[in-house]
Amino acid sequence: MEGLGIQLAFYSFAAVTIGSALLATMAKKIVNSAFALMATFFGVAGIYGVLGSDFMAVTQIVVYVGGILILLCFGMLLTDRVPDEFRVRSPRRYVGASIAATLTFVGLAWAISGTAWARLPHITDGSAEALPTTALIGNALLTDYLLPFEFASIVLLVVLVGAARVARGGTR
């Protein structure tokens, strides 16, 4: 039951993710695009959950649904009049987007194929019961992955300063 249930959950979340991602890119109205994107983020969170990483799943919702997508909604709320339909007109944009998408895909594929997946104890010893991952992630961040952890704060600082500068430029 365990195996089948997990498989079913995984494939349904994957279907939600891919389907709504397609919708998000194809939708003519920006609102529909935003809602499709919300479904995509939830689908990804669900996949994290199925894979036994509950902290990642919750963080996905906090940061993407509760943060990034809200920024998008703010863009919609604050602009003069959102064009109901938007369409990319110049073919150069298509070329640029295709190149970026291909590079991202290759990079992700490379990273996925190079990862030693069975690192967590609950995967290596075959017990399907997921461990509480929050403490594991905290411990890993503070020991083996300290540099990325501290680097994240620098990145956030740079963005903060950039945002403040842009804001003052806009209002002055």
Phi-psi region of 7 (alpha: psi -120 to 50; beta: other; left: phi over 0): alpha
Show contacts with other proteins in window 13-42 (CB under 8 A): 31, 35, 38
> Closest approach of Cβ 126 to other proteins, in Å?
16
Interface with other proteins, residue 75, by CB under 8 A: yes
> Closest approach of Cβ 102 to other proteins, in Å?
28
For residue 172, what are the CA distances in angstroms to 16, 55, 77, 136?
Answer: 44, 42, 22, 47
Among 22, 68, 101, 106, binds other proteins (CB under 8 A): 68
Among 82, 95, 99, 100, binds other proteins (CB under 8 A): 82
Distance, CA of 141 to CA of 152 (rounded, Å): 11
- Degrees, nearest 5: CA angle 35-33-12: 60
Q: What share of the chain is helix, strand, coil (3-state, %, to 5)?
A: 80, 0, 20
Q: Does residue 52 sit in helix, strand or coil?
A: coil
Nearer to other proteins, 85 or 92 (CB): 85
The H or E element spanning position 13 is helix 2-26
Binding piece for other proteins, criterion CB under 8 A, among 19-27, 92-100, 118-126, 139-147: 139-147
Binding site for other proteins (CB under 8 A): 1, 6, 9, 31, 35, 38, 49-50, 52, 54-55, 57-59, 61-63, 65-68, 70-71, 73-82, 130, 132-135, 137-139, 141-143, 146, 149-150, 152-154, 156-157, 159-161, 163-168, 170-171
